[in-house]
């Protein structure tokens, strides 16, 4: 709020005087109007400094839940008016502590959109031999008394283009596997020159992909779509807001990723004080559980193939960068310590059973209290074997079983490597 300079100015114009002196009526009126005007200016500052925001209920600091906020000032002379300051941008505590810069879009790119550069799915061919392996995975789940109806599996031999699957075209909740998709949209924008400095995103990508951090994911979604988690919006404004979020779906849908929904954030998001969807995020769900993110295991396997094997997702350079974020160190000294990550991308997932294989391993996993999902590419040291395995299991039975995914992974690795050695 600006200092009350105007009221001070009026006071200076009317020094003390002897009120016994007679003054005419005009003078009295001028003095009275001046004092009233000074009081009004002091009491009611200009609206441009107190403009209400629909984001306030979710973004403003509170006494019980302080929220770090950074004000970004536009570069100009020291005499700035209110138009030179953009709205407050909330940041996670760890981003504040690191002093991270907030990414800036290039001029004229604020409302630009991108689509995936690959318009058609790779031409995979069905394989009975791979199908036998997938069938073994399903049988393993049944032997462990896990529900087969909640399971989807996709297996791709990256070197031959052979594939097989089980219920792989059913859209399912992917947990944090969806973050891999958001990364691709971001890199497409970076390649198209939307952003002034790619390096500004590196800390957020590291947290989102390597540690599956929801706060980093929320921040990236906001930047990519130009939206913000807000309090409940009126119909017209919400539709505009939703259309921006829909850019995430449209990016992939135009490339043949049908029946895909990736516009929901992953929760909780502590820096926004959101333990679950509220406000605009709840409106996006429309009170329907079916509106949560949905991806097929085939979608996840295809994207991983395009990034890490074919290396033509967005571009060769972008694919290598994205695959680099997905690379996991299977050295037990890295992932076994209980404090290595809040979310451990190796323990209880595919990589746990491959620690003695000396493979190159790239993955994105996700888990909630009611789901377990993962997509991974495995390449042997001699490069004779390269395959992609994606398993989605949105059921609490799989979420509670910390051994089933490592067992599935060990089964596939043994069968794929023995198959290549024949």
Question: Which pLDDT does position 111 carry in this prediction?
Answer: 75
Record the pTM: 0.79
Average pLDDT over residues 258-287: 93
- Segment 145-155, tens digit of pLDDT: 999 999 999 99
In SS3 terms, the chain reads as CCCCHHHHHHHHCCCCCCCCCCCCHHHHHHHHHHHHHHHHHHHCCCHHHCCCCCCHHHHCCCCCCCCCEECCECCCCCCCCHHHECCCEECCHHHHHHCCCCCCECCCCCCCCCCCCCCCCCCCEECHHHHHHHHHHHHHHHHCCCCHHHCEEEEEECCCCEEEEECCCCCECCHHHHHHHHHHHHHHHHHCCCECCHHHHHHHHHHHHHCCCHHHHHHHHHHHHCCCCCCCCCHHHHHHHHHHHCHHHHHHHCCCCCCCECCCCCCCEHHHCECCCCHHHHHHHCCCHHHCCEECHHHHHHHHHHHHHCCCCCCHHHHHHHHHHHECCCCHHHHCCCCCCCCCCCCCCHHHHHCCCCCEEEEEEEEECCEEEEEEEEECCCCCCEEEEEEEECCHHHHHCCCHHHHHHHHHHHHHHHHHCC
Res. 97: pLDDT tops 60: yes
Least confident stretch, 23-37, 97-111, 280-294, 300-314: 23-37
Q: Which residue has the higher pLDDT, 54 or 26?
A: 26
Query: What's the confidence (pLDDT) of residue 39?
Result: 44
Q: Is the pLDDT of residue 35 over 50?
A: no
Query: Over 80: is that where the pLDDT of 238 sits?
Result: yes
pLDDT-derived band of residue 420, with 50, 70 and 90 as boundaries?
low
Mean pLDDT of 90-105: 94
pLDDT, tens only, 327-380: 999 998 888 887 766 788 999 999 999 998 899 999 999 999 999 999 999 999
pLDDT at 228 over 60: yes
Amino acid 334: pLDDT = 86
pLDDT recorded at residue 53: 30
């Amino acid at each position: 709020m600006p200092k009350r300079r105007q009221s001070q100015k009026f006071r200076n114009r009317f020094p003390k005087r002897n009120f016994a002196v007679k003054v005419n009526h005009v003078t009295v009126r001028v003095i009275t109007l001046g004092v009233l005007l000074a009081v009004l200016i002091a009491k009611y500052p200009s609206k441009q400094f107190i403009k209400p925001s629909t984001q306030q209920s979710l973004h403003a600091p509170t006494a019980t839940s302080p929220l770090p906020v950074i004000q970004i000032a536009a570069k100009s002379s020291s005499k700035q008016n209110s138009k030179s300051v953009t709205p407050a941008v909330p940041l996670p505590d760890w981003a504040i502590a690191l002093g991270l810069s907030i990414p800036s879009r290039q001029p004229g790119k604020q409302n630009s959109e991108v689509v995936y550069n690959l318009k058609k799915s790779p031409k995979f061919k069905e394989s009975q031999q791979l199908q036998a392996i997938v069938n073994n995975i399903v049988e393993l789940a049944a032997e462990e008394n896990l529900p087969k109806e909640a399971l989807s599996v996709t297996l791709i031999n990256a070197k031959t283009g052979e594939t097989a699957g089980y219920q792989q075209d059913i859209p399912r909740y992917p947990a944090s596997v969806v973050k891999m998709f958001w990364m691709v949209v971001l890199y497409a924008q970076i390649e198209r020159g939307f952003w002034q400095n790619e390096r500004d995103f590196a800390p957020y990508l590291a947290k989102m992909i390597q540690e599956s951090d929801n706060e980093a994911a929320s921040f990236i979604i906001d930047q990519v779509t130009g939206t913000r988690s807000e309090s409940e919006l009126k119909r017209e404004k919400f539709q505009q807001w939703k259309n921006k979020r829909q850019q995430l779906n449209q990016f992939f849908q135009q490339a043949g990723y049908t029946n895909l929904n990736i516009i929901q954030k992953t929760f909780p998001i502590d820096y926004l004080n959101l333990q679950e969807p509220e406000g605009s995020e709840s409106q996006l769900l429309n009170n329907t559980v079916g509106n949560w993110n949905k991806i097929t295991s085939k979608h996840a396997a295809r994207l991983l193939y395009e990034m890490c094997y074919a290396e033509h997702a967005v571009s060769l350079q972008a694919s290598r960068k994205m695959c680099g974020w997905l690379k996991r160190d299977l050295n037990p000294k890295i992932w076994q310590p209980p404090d290595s990550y809040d979310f451990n991308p190796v323990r209880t997932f595919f990589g746990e059973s491959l620690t003695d294989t000396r493979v190159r391993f790239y993955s994105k996993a996700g888990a909630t209290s009611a789901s377990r999902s993962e997509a991974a590419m495995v390449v042997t040291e001699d490069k004779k074997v390269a395959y992609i395995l994606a398993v989605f299991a949105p059921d609490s039975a799989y979420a509670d079983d910390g051994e089933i995914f490592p067992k599935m992974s060990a089964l596939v690795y043994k069968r794929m490597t023995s198959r290549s050695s024949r």
